[in-house]
Amino acid sequence: MADNKNKIINQRALFIVPPTGLFYRDDRCQVSLKGVSNAPRPPLDLAYMSAILEENGFECRMRDYPVENGGWQDVENDIREFTPSMLVIYTTITSVKEDLRACSMAKEIDPGIITIAKGGDTTISPEERLEMCGDLDIAIIGEPELTMLEIALGRELEEIKGICYRENGKIVKTPRRPFIEDLDSLPFPSRHLLDQSKYVRPDTGEILTTIQSGRGCPAKCIYCLSRVVAGADLRLRSPKNVVDELEHCVNDYGIRNFFFRADTFTWDKEWVISVCKEIISRKLDIQWVANSRANTVDDERLVWMKKAGCWLVSFGVESGSQYILDMTRKGITLEESREALRLAKKHKLKTFVTFLIGMPWDTRETIMETFDFAREIDGDFFEVILPFPFPGTTYYEIAKRDNLILDGAYDNIYDHFNSVVKTYHLSADELTEMKKKSFWYLYARPRYIKKIISQCDSPKAFKNYLSFGINKMKAHFASTR
């Protein structure tokens, strides 16, 4: 693309997840799926962007190469066959160097293809992305839908908010686009462009899709990208609009399993109950999972959630040390986590609990407190995660200032098994060893194994749990620096 010449040669756009590994590529959660307890999710940001283009007469294709077991030859073949005028690439902060290979591939095939990158990393460091790859034309900053539409309609680049591009050999960043307040105005994601059979529940193998119920997070956790990329104000879709999409998925795709993509689905009590009542009134017969916080659940919310088909709630407990919770501005107490897990069990809801070890103040003692707390609250499923210092977060600023980030931390794809940070008290290697220890201390307990087996209500579920356990053990002990 010539400097600042947004020339659309046809109305075709190819949206891709590059063949650089299985990740959650959500802006706030760029996690490798190696050995974690979840399954791949549809690339919702790409599906929203393609939907708004289709609504305006464009022909779109979408490929999720990692879940399709595709490779770079498939990327080349698709570009040659489809001949798009725009190639949109979904990136993450640790895979971006490899992801952007697609730009050079596209330019070799047709220099007129406009190459566009979208990811949490393009919001944080858009200039660096253009410096990293001379064949990248545009980096999208912030919410992508309206920005993508203006690019596709051929608007002059300097008039488009929320992008970074080149002009006369220099990199230019336009003002950030305001957040979309009326999320109901967006079309439903273009799921018809994806092979839905690739996205399944890890326990039953049934097709599962993601519903984005809102954007923004009022919480102030220092390690999370949510406020950076989506803002601190909670913006919710109307209950009717959310359930319209659920009904669309049930009727048009036969999908009855859902994950609500929201930083905290349960934040607004009245809204949660309204969504549940709407699901019940339409007799949708669905099952779903949602993220929550320990201080945003109570009996009434959980009663309605259970009635409406919720079977699992995810809690970011993060630490068994109140000191670490306070230092990371998590905004919850250990007692609130205990009560949240107690309430979930009371209402026969399964729980998925995450713990984060390796924050700057962590010691061997606070990490063991976390492991002991995990045993105490006894979630049904859990994940122990090593932190990653995302630029734009307060944690990154602290870790950078105090030299806690290892050299080369951003040079390779991060697998969450080898720590790229140290604490004030522990080396990166020691954190990696503590992560390995979590497997034996938490997962390999006879009591826990018996509990998981008792929850298997079919041979298929037992097989899936067994397969996951074996893969998790291999991932833990294959990890080397």
Pairing of strands 86-90, 23-26: unpaired
Q: Is residue 184 part of a domain?
A: no
CATH code for position 459: 3.80.30.20
Predicted confidence band of residue 476 (pLDDT cuts 50, 70, 90): low
Q: Is residue 235 part of a domain?
A: yes
Report pLDDT for 227. Answer: 86
Q: Is residue 415 part of a domain?
A: yes
Select the more confidently predicted residue: 18 or 3: 18
Burial of 247 (0-12, 13-18, 19+ CB in 10 A): middle
Q: Is residue 397 part of a domain?
A: yes
Report pLDDT for 382. Answer: 87
pTM of structure: 0.91
**Same-domain pairing of 224 and 168:** no
Pairing of strands 208-212, 170-173: unpaired
Burial of 95 (0-12, 13-18, 19+ CB in 10 A): buried
Q: Which residue among 157, 173, 189 closes a domain?
A: 173
Question: Per-residue pLDDT for 75 more than 70?
Answer: yes
Q: What is the pLDDT of residues 208-222, one digit of tens each?
A: 999 999 999 999 999
CA angle, residues 87, 92, 97, in degrees to nearest 5: 75
Q: How far apart are CA 327 and CA 127, in angstroms?
A: 31
Are the C-beta atoms of 273 and 297 separated by less than 8 Å?
A: no
For 284, the token pair is: 């949708």
**Same-domain pairing of 117 and 234:** no
Domain interval for residue 127: 12-173
**Same-domain pairing of 326 and 442:** yes
Average pLDDT over residues 73-99: 95
Average pLDDT over residues 288-314: 97
**Same-domain pairing of 148 and 251:** no
**Same-domain pairing of 270 and 393:** yes
Cα→Cα distances 201→38, 210, 466, Å? 8, 11, 15
**Same-domain pairing of 347 and 389:** yes
Q: What percent of the chain has pLDDT over 70?
A: 90
Q: Is residue 180 part of a domain?
A: no
**Same-domain pairing of 68 and 137:** yes
**Same-domain pairing of 59 and 164:** yes
**Same-domain pairing of 222 and 77:** no
Amino acid at 204: T
Q: How far apart are CA 81 and CA 144, in angstroms?
A: 26
Are the C-beta atoms of 11 and 58 separated by less than 8 Å?
A: yes
Number of domains in the chain: 2
Q: Is residue 188 part of a domain?
A: no
Q: What is the pLDDT of residues 118-175, one digit of tens each?
A: 998 899 999 999 999 999 999 999 999 999 999 999 999 999 999 999 998 899 999 9
Number of Cβ within a 10 Å radius of residue 204:
15
**Same-domain pairing of 407 and 457:** yes
Q: How far apart are CA 446 and CA 452, in angstroms?
A: 10
Q: Is residue 4 part of a domain?
A: no
Are the C-beta atoms of 147 and 119 separated by less than 8 Å?
A: no
Predicted confidence band of residue 70 (pLDDT cuts 50, 70, 90): very high
CA angle, residues 244, 248, 252, in degrees to nearest 5: 170
Q: Is residue 178 part of a domain?
A: no
**Same-domain pairing of 241 and 121:** no
Report pLDDT for 323. Answer: 98
